[in-house]
Each structure stands twice: as C-alpha cells, then as structure tokens.
C-alpha cells in the first residue's frame, strides 16, 4: 500500500504486529518513538506480564490524556478471514485487520493528531499525556488500573481523558460515551442433597429450590435509572447442576449472575437485596461477589463541550452523549476525579472475524482529536 495518510500508515504498522492480549509486540515502543520526537517524556510501567506506557508533554495543568490499549482479542479461525488478520489491507475504502476498529486505528489517529497540534502550537497550555496498556482485552488487572494507582500515589492529576474506544454507530462522532454502567458479578451456589430420583423424599433438589428465588431476582426492579443511565439490569449468565445421569438428584446448583448498574444503585445495596431475597426463600447457599467496575459519569463541562464542538467543526454534526454498552478502562481513570469520554470509530465489527473500519473515518477522527486539543489547550 502506497500513498497512505500518516494516520493510515501508522495504523497499518500497528495492526501488522500480533499483539493478542496481553502482548504488546512493540506497539508502545513505536508510539513512544513518535511521541518522544515531539517532546514527550516516556515512562514504561510493566506490571506482571503487561506493558504500559505513560507519556507526558508539559509539566503544568490542565492535563489532557489520550488513553487506549495496544492489545487485541484473539483472531478466531484464521482460515475464515478474507486475508491474514495481521496483514492489514485497504479494500473498498475499508482498512481490514485485527484491531483496525478496536483500537489501533484510534491510537494512530491520536498520535498523528498530537504531532500536528504540537507542530502548530509548540507552546500550548497545560500538558498532553498518553496512558497506553496491553491489558484491556484481558483481565485488566495489571494495566490501566495499576498506572492510575501509581499516578495517584505520586500526586499526578489528569483533568480530562479521551479513551479511543470505538464509540460511533452510524457515522464517526455521532455517539460519544460520557459514562458507563458498573458491573457486579456473583457466583451463587444453592446447596441441596444428592439422591435417587425415585426417592425424592430422601433428597433435596437444588434446582427446584433455586427456581422460585431466581425467578424473583429476574423479575425484581432494581432502580429506575436516571437521565443519564437506563435502569439497572440483572442477568443470569450460566446455570449448572447435575451429574449427567437422568436418575440422580444433584447435590448443588451453580448460577453465575451479573448486574449492570447505574449510579442510582450501589454495590453494597445490590448485594444486600440479593441476600435478602435468597434468605426469604429459605435457601442454603454460598455467594461470591466480584466487582468488574463502578459506574462513572462525565456531565456536560469543559471536556464534553470541547469534544462536541470539535465534532461539529470537523463533521458538521451534533454528537449524542451515551452511557450504553459494556465497561472500558475509563472506569479506572474516572476514579481520579477525571472527566472521561470515549470517542472512536464505528463499532460495527469489533471482536468479529474480518474486523474493519472506514479508512476515511480514521482521518476524520484524527481531525476531531486535533480540533479537541485546540478547543482545550489553546
């Protein structure tokens, strides 16, 4: 491929590196080399088997941080791709390859936007930073969360953060994520007594015992949401019981449950209500909770206004703030009191076979990032 824009050229270079989570495959070094050339101080932070990059240009506030991840999800069956997933190609106006949309295209747009901005405004206000991890698609325990902990420990503040997650749906910039719901998981074990199905009086079937309680949980209204968030949802994602034999009453049932919760609910409140319902049904149970992330919200202010103005300037369209979708690393950055938005290309093919994104959209995204810098740091 020849005559590519700077953004597309860098995106192809990043996509060509097999950085299946938690691998980075040299992506951060490539980005860091470009950033160092325009005055960024680089700091590599490795935790466990995860590479993280913290880069900053400037020493004063306010700090505008671009955040993202170099790791990608596994390709799936390579033979079902139209071309090798780590050999990017532009065909029919689309850039094809694993990570094109999620999120190496965004990373390339960020770097090029900053290069252009610094060239035009070498004495800009405040500071520009990059927080890049290779642990977003994996457990997310050694990546952004650890970098944030380090920054907090040494008193560094991030005022605004743009996460390059693919937020758009129909046209680049039509949707900006200004918050995310929290995610609360539980492993619920209902205890019964194993026995022969022909002698049910000598057994206690945990499936029968659990069914009314699970139905109550599924029908419960947890909250009504608010102007920014939909109502909290409860889902049973897995149920397992039995020995595989048709003539054995199982001894226990395991259910995996998940809440996607709004700012109207708390972890403690949801946990208490679940245990109350289980107790009301007289169950003998074990319950193990894990929190994947707390909800966060960036209300209209400097960042959201600046991003919206930049999108309007570049595309002529008004953007729609949204808190829909799953979790992202923005949940960790928001704990610093940072205003966080997610802005990236279309999300139609993320994590799919033959992942692709509009080549022209990545150039548009570059212009939007640059215009946002001008809105906030000029």
Question: Annotated catalytic sites, by residue?
Answer: 71, 136
Separation between Cα atoms, residue 35 and residue 187, nearest integer Å: 44
Beta-sheet strand order (sheet of 182-191): 233-241, 252-261, 182-191, 285-293
Separation between Cα atoms, residue 342 and residue 329, nearest integer Å: 10
Separation between Cα atoms, residue 36 and residue 32, nearest integer Å: 6
- The 10 Å Cβ neighbour count of residue 286 is 11
Q: Which of 172, 165, 157, 160 is nearest to 136 (CA)?
A: 165
CA dihedral 240, 241, 247, 248 (to 10 degrees): 160
Ranges assigned E (strand) in the chain? 41-47, 50-57, 63-69, 89-91, 94-96, 127-133, 160-163, 175-177, 179-180, 182-191, 195-196, 233-241, 248-249, 252-261, 285-293, 296-297, 320-322, 339-342, 356-358
In residues, how long is the chain?
378
Residue with tokens 């069914």: 211
- The 10 Å Cβ neighbour count of residue 265 is 21
Q: Which residues of 37-69 are buried (b: 16+ CB within 10 A; e: fewer)?
A: ebebebeebebeebbbbbbbbbeeebbbbbbbb
DSSP state letter for 193: B
Count, in order, helices (H) and strands (E) of the chain: 9, 19
Q: Give the relative orientation of helices 6-15 and 27-36 as an angle to the nearest 10 degrees.
A: 150
Q: How is residue 28 written in tokens? A: 């951060």
């Amino acid at each position: 491929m020849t005559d590519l824009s700077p953004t597309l050229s860098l995106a192809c270079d990043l996509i060509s590196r097999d950085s299946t989570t938690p691998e980075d495959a040299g992506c951060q070094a490539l980005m860091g080399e470009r950033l160092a050339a325009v005055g960024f101080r680089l700091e590599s932070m490795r935790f466990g088997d995860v590479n993280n990059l913290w880069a900053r240009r400037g020493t004063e506030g306010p700090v505008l941080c671009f955040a993202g991840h170099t790791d990608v999800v596994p390709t799936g069956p390579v033979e079902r791709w139209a071309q090798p997933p780590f050999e990017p190609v532009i065909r029919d106006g689309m850039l094809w390859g694993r990570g094109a949309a999620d999120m190496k295209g965004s990373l390339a747009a960020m770097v090029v936007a900053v290069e252009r901005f610094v060239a035009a405004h070498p004495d800009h206000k405040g500071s520009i930073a990059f927080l890049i991890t290779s642990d977003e698609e994996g457990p997310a325990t050694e990546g952004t969360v650890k970098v944030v902990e380090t920054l907090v420990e040494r008193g560094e503040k991030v005022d605004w953060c743009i996460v390059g997650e693919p937020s758009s749906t129909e046209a680049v910039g039509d949707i900006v994520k200004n918050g995310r719901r929290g995610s609360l998981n539980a492993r619920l074990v209902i205890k019964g007594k194993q026995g022969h199905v022909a002698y049910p009086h000598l057994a206690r079937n945990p499936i029968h015992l659990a069914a009314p309680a699970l139905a109550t949980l599924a029908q419960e209204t947890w909250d009504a949401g608010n102007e920014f968030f939909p109502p909290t949802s409860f889902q049973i994602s897995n149920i397992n019981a039995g020995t595989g034999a048709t003539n054995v009453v199982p001894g226990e049932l395991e259910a995996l449950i998940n809440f996607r919760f709004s700012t109207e609910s708390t972890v403690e409140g949801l946990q208490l209500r679940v245990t109350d319902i289980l107790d009301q049904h007289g169950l003998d149970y074990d319950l193990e909770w894990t929190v994947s992330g707390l909800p966060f919200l960036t209300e209209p202010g400097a960042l959201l206004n600046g991003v919206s103005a930049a999108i309007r300037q570049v595309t002529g369209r008004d953007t729609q703030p949204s808190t829909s979708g799953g979790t992202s690393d923005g949940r960790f950055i928001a704990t610093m009191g940072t205003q966080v938005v997610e802005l990236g290309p279309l999300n139609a093919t993320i994590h799919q076979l033959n992942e692709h994104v509009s080549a022209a959209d990545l150039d548009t995204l570059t212009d939007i990032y640059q215009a946002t810098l001008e809105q906030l740091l000029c």
